[in-house]
Amino acid sequence: MTLQNDTSMDSASDTIGMSWKYYVPPGLFALIFVVAVTGNTLVLYVVAFFKKMRTIATCYLVNLAVTDLAFLLCCVPFTVVNYLTTSYAFGEAMCKFVSYIMQVTAQAACLSLALLGLDRYFAILHPVLSVNYRRKRVAIIGSIIVWIASFILALPTALYYRLETIKWNGESLKICRPNNPPKDWARGYWIYSLLCTYVIPLVVSLVTCSAIVYRLYHRFQPNARQSGIRRKKNKKSACLLIGSVAVFAACWLPDHAINLWLVLSSDEEISETIYWIKVAALILTYTNFRRQPIHLRHGRRGLPCLSQQHLLQGESECQPGIAFEDDVNTARSLCRGRTSSGDHSSC
């Protein structure tokens, strides 16, 4: 009787353990999905219904929110289903299409972040020289180019993925995974993907962020006329820039690292440790797409003000609500003034 009870308890314990491993990952994915979709939808709502928010900077933020939403809607639901089922629940056409769209949206999200960094770079470091280029039309064209480039750069994924049938514990299971090309080709593909979706956007973001921070702390030193509030704005702006790049780097690095390790490794078996590392990496990646409300709140503060303060040489305090268009209008006025006085060097 005791042996039977012990056996039943062990069986129940194993069942609970399997249930915990079975439901926790998709549950966490679903929670992040709801929070991130809500935040990005809020960004689109605010920009759509408040005309004062329709600035050049928010054009890039809207594109970033759209790419984030597209990534979340295309990736997370299918990932949840994959973790809840032992066999791929969709056909081969969906395997190729979903994998391709996942890569496209991930690529677009990363490139959009780099594009936003470039816009901030020119708005702060070259407000006068970039006056003719920082327009809504240019922002829209830039966003379209990002999407076109993403669709092109992700084309290898559509050719690389397929639905395969494998044997596991005596059962036939269907999985969506990269086809079995030569090992060197597979490694080349993943390195190519790493460069396009992580290394290049990160390098661009680091360069622009470093230049902006340098301007804030070295080229734009507070003078005796500047208040403590203005100095605090400098620090907050720099912290926001550094934080944005740091979050992007930290959230994407684990997933890229584990994918690259799996490709370079000769071990065909995936241990439980690697499984949970992969889950944690995906959670970090999806968490990165909750950033938009923070960008929307702070993107219109500090940085535009610093640019206008630099142009006006500290004549007045900058209000938090001043938009990027005000910088452009100020720069245009200065440019017209310099042109009329015969100074064309900065225009």
Determine the pLDDT at residue 85: 81
Q: Report d(CA 53, CA 295) in Å as an integer.
A: 13
On whether the CB atoms of residues 94 and 181 are closer than 8 A, the answer is no
Whether pLDDT at 107 is above 70 = yes
On whether the CB atoms of residues 104 and 84 are closer than 8 A, the answer is no
Q: Report d(CA 185, CA 210) in Å as an integer.
A: 35
Determine the pLDDT at residue 25: 84
Question: Which of 59-68, 101-110, 138-147, 229-238 shows the lowest mean pLDDT across its residues?
Answer: 229-238
Q: What is the pTM of this model?
A: 0.72
Whether pLDDT at 131 is above 70 = yes
DSSP class of 85: -
Determine the pLDDT at residue 114: 87
On whether the CB atoms of residues 285 and 305 are closer than 8 A, the answer is no
Write out the H or E segment, with its range, that includes residue 302.
none
Spell out the long-range contacts of 242-247 with Cβ–Cβ below 8 A and sequence spacing 24 or more.
242/209, 242/213, 244/113, 244/205, 244/209, 244/291, 244/295, 245/117, 245/202, 245/205, 245/206, 245/209, 247/288, 247/291
Whether pLDDT at 334 is above 70 = no
Angle, CA of 219, 224 and 229, to the nearest 5°? 80
Whether pLDDT at 3 is above 50 = no
Q: Report d(CA 199, CA 39) in Å as an integer.
A: 26
Q: Report d(CA 285, CA 247) in Å as an integer.
A: 10
Q: Which domains does the chain have, with CATH numbers?
A: 18-89+102-159+183-336 (1.20.1070.10)
Q: pLDDT tens across 166-196, in order?
A: 766 667 778 787 776 666 677 788 888 889 8
Distances (CA, A) of 30 to 73, 76, 79: 11, 7, 10
Q: pLDDT tens across 228-249, in order?
A: 565 566 566 667 767 778 888 8
Whether pLDDT at 290 is above 60 = yes
* Residue owning tokens 């890229």: 256
Q: Report d(CA 36, CA 38) in Å as an integer.
A: 5
Whether pLDDT at 152 is above 90 = yes
Structure tokens of 132?
Answer: 């003719």
Q: What percent of the chain shows pLDDT beyond 90?
A: 6
Q: What percent of the chain shows pLDDT beyond 70?
A: 67
What DSSP letter does each residue of 3-16 carry, written as one string? Answer: HHHHHHHHHHHHHH
DSSP class of 74: H
312 SS3 class: helix
Q: Report d(CA 100, CA 80) in Å as an integer.
A: 18
Average pLDDT, the chain: 72
Q: How confident is the model at residue 163 (pLDDT cuts 50, 70, 90)?
A: confident
Determine the pLDDT at residue 291: 61
Structure tokens of 141?
Answer: 């064209």
Within 50-172, residue ranges assigned H as helices are: 56-84, 92-125, 136-153, 155-160
DSSP class of 318: P
Q: Shortest CA distance to 58 belongs to which of 238, 236, 296, 322?
A: 296
Determine the pLDDT at residue 177: 76
Whether pLDDT at 198 is above 60 = yes
Q: How confident is the model at residue 158 (pLDDT cuts 50, 70, 90)?
A: confident
301 SS3 class: coil
Q: Report d(CA 68, CA 105) in Å as an integer.
A: 7
Distances (CA, A) of 345 to 128, 312, 339: 10, 18, 9
Q: How confident is the model at residue 297 (pLDDT cuts 50, 70, 90)?
A: low
